[in-house]
Each structure stands twice: as C-alpha cells, then as structure tokens.
Structure 1
C-alpha cells in the first residue's frame, strides 16, 4: 500500500515560503503541489483522495481553519498539518478539535520534517481504510453502522429497509468483519470512530 505515492499539498499565501517548502519537500522524494489560497486549493484538489496538507492559518481570503472546516464538511480523508507564525494555544486546540493532525509554528521547518512522516503514515492508513470500506456493499455499510452502535441482529433486521431476517444480518456481519479485517463489534465501533469521514 505504501508503494502508492501520496500527494502533499502546501497552502500558503507567502510565495517565498511556498517555493522553499516545495523545494525542500520535493528533495525528500515527495510529490508536492502548492496553492496560494484556500479557495484555489478547495476548487482544485480531489478532496476524496487521501494525502497530506500543510496549511497556513492566516491567509488572504478564507483562513486555514475555514479550509479545515470545509474539508470536514466534505468528509475528506486528507491529513492536515498547520504551519503558522500566528499560532496560539486556543487556535491550536480548535484546529485539533476540527481534526488537524498537528500544529507547527513557522518557520520551524525542522519540526515539520520530524512530524511529516507520522502524518504520511496516517494518510496511508486512511487510504487503506477507504479501500476496505469501498469493498463493502451499500447494505453492508448500513449494517456496519448499526452493528457499531450495539444493535442486535434482530433489531438491525427490523430497521433495514426493506426489512430482512436476523440470519441475513449475521451473514452481512460476517462479511463486514472479514472485509475490514476486524474481530468484533467493539473493534468495528472504534474503527468507524477513527475514520468518521467515511461515507
């Protein structure tokens, strides 16, 4: 899975910094695409593909936090690292609450390079989760969400439209665990919580 290249995006309205980060990250063997604004990033990038975003907080136009909020609304699997010279603790906490992977204060590029491998590993984990989830049928996804909430096979069978029997639900449950490589409903609940952006 890690043989598949992940795109790394840099979104910052500081042209000198964008160029510097592009050269630095490209020299690390990473495919990099840069954007001067949150608007151009959101309008251009396929938000459904896993990858990493190095995102500035304060930019002309919409802010980095607004970009992150939009990615969350779009159920995007993109992993976000904030890089900002204007960081403060409340803003950092808000970014993490919205799902940011981490926060680095400009111009600590060394810290960025230290934290980037973990963000890339997370992006690969999301890519794998997305692949596994896509292998489930629409009905299996529906059953998976109900199983994760603790409903019994009988309750799930009644809630499905059209209704079905508990044995059919048990078959779906078995397929779900096999395809997602999970052992039980508790693991499934934790898995879906970790990848809450899955649709």
Structure 2
C-alpha cells in the first residue's frame, strides 16, 4: 500500500465525513466518503488499495463488522476505527478483528493524520511476521508482575476504573502503570500498546 494515498471515510455522521474529508484534503490526501458500511462494501472490491477510516458505532453494519468483512475478502485496505472516549472494549475488539489502529474521539488533527499516514504504508504481511511477534514478546518481558496484570486487563478491554477496582488500586495508579508499560515497550499510544500485546499473544 505504500504507493497509495486513497482514504475511504465510512461514517453515518455527515459532519464527521465532511470534517475528515477537509482535513485529509488539506494534507494532500485523496478521500472518498460513504454514509454506511453497506454502501462502501458494495464498491470495495473495485476500489484502489488504501485506508478505511470508520466509526465503530453505526446503524446496520458497524465498524467492527466492517473490519471483519474486509478481512474475509482479503482486500488491500487497512482500517482505522474511531471510538468514543473510554470505549476500550470496542477498540480492543476492533483490533482483534483486524483494524490496524483505533482513535478515541475527540481527536487532534495531527493524531488522525499520523494514523492515516501509517496505515497507508502498512503491509498486511508484516503483522503476521514471526520476527515482529518475537520482538514484541521480548519487549513485554521487561514488564513487572503488576504491569503485566494491568496489561492483561487492558487487552481484555477493561477501563482504568474497572482495572483499578479489580486489582485493588486507584485509577491514577493504573494510569501510572500504563505509562510505564508504554515507556518500556516503546509504544507511542494505547492503540499501539494493545496491538503489540495482541500480536505477542497476550
């Protein structure tokens, strides 16, 4: 996908579609918008390789189901899923379904553009590469027992508040552990941390 700059925005919210199309246009990225996953899927096979940006919550076929169907069709399309703030469980489900990233709304323009630019150069085979899996596994070896416990809860889709309750610590302490994990593993975002953990088999 390295030579493609096509982005497909799939969202039932017209304001979001227009906003993202404008943002991408200002960055010199060609985009196409679709008001439903059904409309997009009907055309997906005939589209050039690129990146799909979709909301996780939509009427009919939602973002997670869209990710699954694109994976089943083995189309050359990386997917970024937008979630509401705190929708960690849905974000994890989307990653497990095959999304390359998730972004919590509201998001900063540079966060979205950075995610899109990364997604446009994703090689689908890389995620399955054994060397990448081993590298991620090695990164997680450095975690303390408590950090590992927090990580497993994060990957299970639990919020910081729920993790804190389950482990008998404060939500703030959970955030401290999470920050420590990101520093040790080199993850730049929660989505990257989750993705690394999933690929490492955690």
Gaps of 5+ in 2: 126-198
Partner in structure 1 of residue 80 of structure 2: 81
Cα distance, 1:117 vs. partner?
A: 1.6
Is the 2:38–2:61 Cα contact (8 Å) retained in structure 1?
yes
Partner in structure 1 of residue 119 of structure 2: 119
Is the 2:4–2:50 Cα contact (8 Å) retained in structure 1?
no
Structural mapping, 1:55-134, within 5 Å: 55-85=54-84, 88-110=87-109, 111-122=111-122, 125=123
Describe the SS at the equivalent of 1:17. helix
After superposition, the Cα gap between the structure-2 partners of 1:105 and 1:74, relative to the gap in structure 1 and judged at 3 Å, is same
Deviations 1:26-75 (CA, angstroms, capped at 9, x unpaired): 11111100000000010122267421000111112211111111111111
Is the 2:4–2:120 Cα contact (8 Å) retained in structure 1?
no
- What is the rounded CA distance, in whole Å, between the counterparts of 1:47 and 1:116 in structure 2? 21
Query: How many residue pairs end up in the alignment?
Result: 125
* Rg larger in structure: 1
Deviations 1:100-126 (CA, angstroms, capped at 9, x unpaired): 11110112043212222211121xx45
After superposition, the Cα gap between the structure-2 partners of 1:12 and 1:86, relative to the gap in structure 1 and judged at 3 Å, is farther
> Normalization by structure 2: what TM-score?
0.56
> Normalization by structure 1: what TM-score?
0.57
After superposition, the Cα gap between the structure-2 partners of 1:22 and 1:115, relative to the gap in structure 1 and judged at 3 Å, is same
- Residues 1:32 and 2:14 are matched in the alignment: no
After superposition, the Cα gap between the structure-2 partners of 1:13 and 1:121, relative to the gap in structure 1 and judged at 3 Å, is same
Partner in structure 1 of residue 53 of structure 2: 54
After superposition, the Cα gap between the structure-2 partners of 1:120 and 1:87, relative to the gap in structure 1 and judged at 3 Å, is farther
- What is the rounded CA distance, in whole Å, between the counterparts of 1:48 and 1:33 in structure 2? 10
Is the 1:47–1:76 Cα contact (8 Å) retained in structure 2?
no
Worse overlay, 113-122 or 8-17: 113-122
Is the 1:38–1:62 Cα contact (8 Å) retained in structure 2?
yes
- What is the rounded CA distance, in whole Å, between the counterparts of 1:47 and 1:98 in structure 2? 22
Partner in structure 2 of residue 160 of structure 1: none
